[in-house]
Amino acid sequence: MRKFAALALVLLLAGCSLGSKKEVPQPTPSPDLSGKPPAIAVLNGPFASGPVRAPEKGALVGAWIKPDELTHVGRLAAVDSLETDLGRRLSIVNTYRRFEQMVGTSSDKEFLSQGATLMVSWATGDNRSILDGEHDDLIRKQAKAIRKIKKPVLLRMRWEMDRPNLRATMWSGNDYIAAWKYVRNIFKQERANNVSWVWCPTAEGFIRGDAPGFYPGDDQVDWTCVDVYAGENFQPIGQLMGPFLQFAAQHPKPIIIGEFGVAKAWGSAARAAWLRDAERTFKANPQIKALAYFESDPEGNPATKQFQLTGDKLAFKAFHALVKDPYFNP
């Protein structure tokens, strides 16, 4: 009887131990970030990149910096703060616009006057309603607004169009391609010739295999682009965007990394290592001519989707080393 009681106690304790292991998440092993990444995007150019010219050597550096307030003063303060910490101006300032929000705000003009190139991430609407002509006036208004600033602009028309949660408004790759051509034709009619057209899906879309189906064609695209994050899946950036780089190497366009970031969930040391590996990866792929960090902690997001580097000493130091490298100051 005592033996059975002792056995029951052992089994009970073992069950408690197993239960506690389920409640405490185990850390994900860090990938090896020490090796030199393979150069997959092997095209060296020169590239016909539209009005925003790709540098012959090296790559331009920019960012999206989430302001405390979405106002003229707030936007300027956010960019100025990061530039002060970095000790240099950003070559590219990423800015997001809803379909009805026009380019050419006071802050846009200020960034342009400081020598930055605007990258406008424009959230166009339902592709089929665009093709039905429901938004022609709005599209023409935006084309005129961009033409009026008289400076070259990178335009990401409905970036990340391949995301599954956008399928209700994107409909299909064919619908997106048709809408892209429709919008671009209106810009041509309005003589908005200062636009470099940037096609920018997600790295996940190339891993799934559906992103290429949204490509409008080499005659329609000036820059290929990808958004890539070490968020919930902590892998080296070269591995995360490897399928995209293989695709891009088949198209004679310069590459811009439209958004990239490494989440706070992985800790300072791992974030710093990931950024150092990102620097090696960018330099090993000569087709990559520009990149923009996503310097933001979106409200309501978990730590796996918080990417701000400011305040993280080790991670920021790694990013600072990247932006001070002569390769990223062409």
Annotated catalytic residues are 160, 259
Residue 180: its pLDDT value, please? Answer: 98
The better pLDDT of the pair 231, 7 is held by 231
Which pLDDT tens digit goes with each residue over 257-276?
A: 999 999 999 999 999 999 99
Residue 42: its pLDDT value, please? Answer: 85
Q: Which whole-number Å values give the CA distances from 214 to 81, 176, 180, 205, 227, in the listed order? A: 37, 6, 10, 10, 15
| pLDDT at 12 exceeding the cut of 90 | no
The better pLDDT of the pair 10, 250 is held by 250
3-state secondary structure of 227: strand
| pLDDT at 236 exceeding the cut of 90 | yes
Q: Which whole-number Å values give the CA distances from 241 to 68, 147, 229, 298, in the listed order? A: 31, 33, 9, 23
For residue 9, what pLDDT band results from cuts at 50, 70 and 90?
A: very low
For residue 317, what pLDDT band results from cuts at 50, 70 and 90?
A: very high
Asked whether the beta carbons of 290 and 254 are under 8 A apart, the reply is yes
Residue 34: its pLDDT value, please? Answer: 60
Which pLDDT tens digit goes with each residue over 125-151?
A: 999 999 999 999 999 999 999 999 999
Query: Considering the chain, what is the average pLDDT of its residues?
Result: 91
Residue 4: its pLDDT value, please? Answer: 38
Residue 36: its pLDDT value, please? Answer: 64
| pLDDT at 120 exceeding the cut of 80 | yes
For residue 41, what pLDDT band results from cuts at 50, 70 and 90?
A: confident
For residue 14, what pLDDT band results from cuts at 50, 70 and 90?
A: very low
Give the mean model confidence (pLDDT) for residues 170-179.
Answer: 98
Residue 155: its pLDDT value, please? Answer: 98
The better pLDDT of the pair 4, 102 is held by 102
The label of the residue with tokens 């997600």 reads: 202
Which pLDDT tens digit goes with each residue over 15-36?
A: 333 333 333 333 444 555 666 6
Domains of the chain: 51-328 (3.20.20.80)
Residue 45: its pLDDT value, please? Answer: 86
- Could you tell me which residues are beta bridge partners of residue 60? 290
Distance between CA atoms of residues 180 and 124, nearest Å: 10
Distance between CA atoms of residues 264 and 281, nearest Å: 21
Which pLDDT tens digit goes with each residue over 56-115?
A: 999 999 999 999 988 999 999 999 999 999 999 999 999 999 999 999 999 999 999 999
Which pLDDT tens digit goes with each residue over 201-235?
A: 999 999 999 999 999 999 999 999 999 999 998 99
Residue 31: its pLDDT value, please? Answer: 59
**DSSP assignments along 68-87, one per residue:** SSSSHHHHHHHHHHHHHHHT
Give the mean model confidence (pLDDT) for residues 298-305.
Answer: 93
Question: Residue 57, Cβ neighbours under 10 Å: how many?
Answer: 11
Question: Residue 308, Cβ neighbours under 10 Å: how many?
Answer: 19
Going by C-alpha positions, the residue among 224, 183, 226, 231 that lies closest to residue 206 is 226
Greatest Cα-to-Cα distance within the chain, rounded to the nearest angstrom? 93
Give the mean model confidence (pLDDT) for residues 240-260.
Answer: 97
For residue 39, what pLDDT band results from cuts at 50, 70 and 90?
A: confident
**DSSP assignments along 10-37, one per residue:** HHHHHHHHHHHHHHSPPPPPPP---SPP
CA–centroid distance for 79 within its chain: 17
